[in-house]
Amino acid sequence: MSSLSKLWLVVIAEPDAPVAEVDWFAELEALGRGDVAALARIRRLVTSQLARMGAYAAREAWDDLAQEVVVRVWRAHRDGRVREASALPGFVRTTTRNAFIDWTRKHGREVDLPDEAVVANADAQGERPLDPAIQQALRNALSTLSDRHREVVERIYLENLSYDETAAALNRPRGTINRLQREAILALRAQLLSGDR
């Protein structure tokens, strides 16, 4: 896996916990009660699926697509169509893919999406090559970081240095490196997965 691919997976990952460790049924129940944080976490899951599909043709419609998928997923949960919490990320992936395909047809756009089984398997293995458009978007986002944030990200993710090695190379305390890395990933996530790209 390339260094940019590793960085991309970190950027689009759920910041609170790995997807497998999130109780998505509890999140959906909280969403049903109007919990804004649950909505944000579920939308982030949907947006990460759009990004993994390389759905940049619909970039201006991501907010609408994400909202549509969240509603579909919540209704499926409410109606008991998703019986196991572990199946929910796959259901979200399929629902997101279908919503994007519907959008492309409605707007007369041609897209070449990878086979869903290939994407799911490659994502699980961490081996899917990073789309050139995503690579460029990631490089552009990196260029917007402050020098301090960018050098930490480059050392850790592009040069594959450990946090301790990065701290030594940059002559900064390990705690500062941890903080700069967290801030940089949040900034990259905000830029790449928001509607303002």
**Ranges of CATH 1.10.10.10 domains, the chain:** 145-193
d(CA 98, CA 3) in angstroms, rounded, equals 30
> CA-CA distance, 104 to 23, in Å (whole number)?
32
Q: Which two tokens stand for residue 8?
A: 């991309």
As a whole number of angstroms, the distance between CA 194 and CA 167 comes to 30
> What tokens does 60 get?
């201006």
Total-model pTM? 0.51
pLDDT tens profile 62-113: 778 888 999 999 999 889 888 887 778 788 888 988 888 888 888 777 655 5
Structure confidence at residue 197 (pLDDT): 38
Q: Is the dihedral of CA 127, 142, 180, 156 positive or negative?
A: positive
Which pLDDT belongs to residue 125? 44
Give the model's pLDDT for residue 176.
93
Name all contacts of 12-16 with Cβ < 8 Å and 24+ positions apart: 12/47, 12/48, 12/51, 12/52, 12/189, 12/192, 12/193, 13/48, 14/41, 14/44, 14/45, 14/48, 15/44, 15/185, 15/186, 15/189, 16/41
**Does the structural domain 145-193 have CATH classification 1.10.10.10?**
yes
Q: With a cut of 50, which residues of the chain have pLDDT below it?
A: 1, 14, 16-20, 114-123, 125-127, 195-197
